[in-house]
Amino acid sequence: MSIIIKTKEQIEILREGGRHLSEVLHKVKDIIKPGISTYELDKYAEKLIREYGDEPAFLNYKPEGAKVSFPASLCVSVNEEVVHGIPKKDKILKEGDIVSIDLGLKHKGLFTDMAMTVAVGNISEQIKKLLAITEQALQVGIHNAVVGNRVGDIGFAIENFVHSKHLQKENYGIVEVLSGHGVGVAIHEDPYIPNFGKANTGEKIKAGMVVAIEPMLNMGTKNVTLDKDGYTFHTADRKHSAHFEHTILITEDGPEILTQN
């Protein structure tokens, strides 16, 4: 597969879909509180998507190499879970948890992808900082998703930021085995967009590309392990992890975040 440059018509549909997705995910965020199950979050997300006449992109999606398809609309990953957590009726959020909610939406045949990590009630200052820095890392990545740069410049900028001097003592691990990606015609398209790397490497960034940028930062080691369920990634040392993602359109005038209102 090669990189798909989107047409004007496709871009308009992706803008609409991105707005829907952002509204849905923020509404899901708003009901997060101690006592709610990850299953309830999933059902609410699916209901809101269908109210728009759209479709959940992850439900029944079968990534290459997977034995079974993903059984839910929303990926819900709690604390040491990094991404792709499967919602469960008996997984109840409690005060002090953090929860990553990751959602894909199909609008008029085209896909957008978005994620954020949310505090459940009060969380420690240390974890608050992890969330803030991960969100900032996403912004750094977005700022570097510009015409004239290459894909490697995005990861290079993220890595430079996360490992910059003022964050030295945090020593966050940047997850390397999972990455951002092209999106739009399919939920995962070329190119891969790692959250680390070398400047001036990889594909040239061109206007009309649509990409999902999604840094995942860990309190400890960058290493992750895959759960027996075949989907959920945990940090190898079971320390907390955070994840933020936007779908971005590259324009001649700079990056445009599609997944915001």
Ligand-binding site membership of 102 (annotated)? yes
Instruction: Determine the interface stretch with Mg ion among 110-118, 128-136, 153-161, 215-223 (rule: CB under 5 A).
Output: 110-118
Of these, 54, 97, 113, 189, which contacts Mg ion (CB under 5 A)? Answer: 113
Ligand-binding site membership of 113 (annotated)? yes
CA 28, 254, 185, 231 torsion-angle sign: negative
Give CA separation, 24 vs 5, 18, 109, 139, in Å: 26, 10, 18, 21
What's the rounded Cα separation, in Å, for the pair 209 and 53?
Answer: 25
Q: Per-residue string for binding with Mg ion, 186-205, x by CB under 5 A?
A: --------------------
Residue 152 or 215: which CB sits closer to Mg ion?
A: 215
Instruction: Give yes or no for residue 59 binding Mg ion (CB under 5 A).
Output: no
Closest contact distance (angstroms) between CB of 155 and Mg ion is 15
Residue 41 or 248: which CB sits closer to Mg ion?
A: 248
Closest contact distance (angstroms) between CB of 212 and Mg ion is 4
Contact 241, 186 (CB under 8 A): no
Angle between helical axes of 125-143 and 151-162 (0-180°, round to 10): 150
CA neighbor of 139 nearest in space, from 119, 117, 154 = 154
Phi, psi of 120 (to 5 degrees): -100, 105
Give CA separation, 231 vs 76, 86, 106, 217, in Å: 11, 7, 21, 18
Q: In the sheet that 241-243 helps form, which strands lie side by side, from edge to edge?
A: 173-174, 216-218, 241-243
Residue 130 or 210: which CB sits closer to Mg ion?
A: 210
Residues 202-231 that bind Mg ion (CB under 5 A): 212
Residue 234 or 243: which CB sits closer to Mg ion?
A: 243
Known binding positions: 84, 102, 113, 181, 188, 214, 245
Known binding positions for a divalent metal cation: 102, 113, 181, 214, 245
What is the binding site for Mg ion (CB under 5 A)? 113, 212
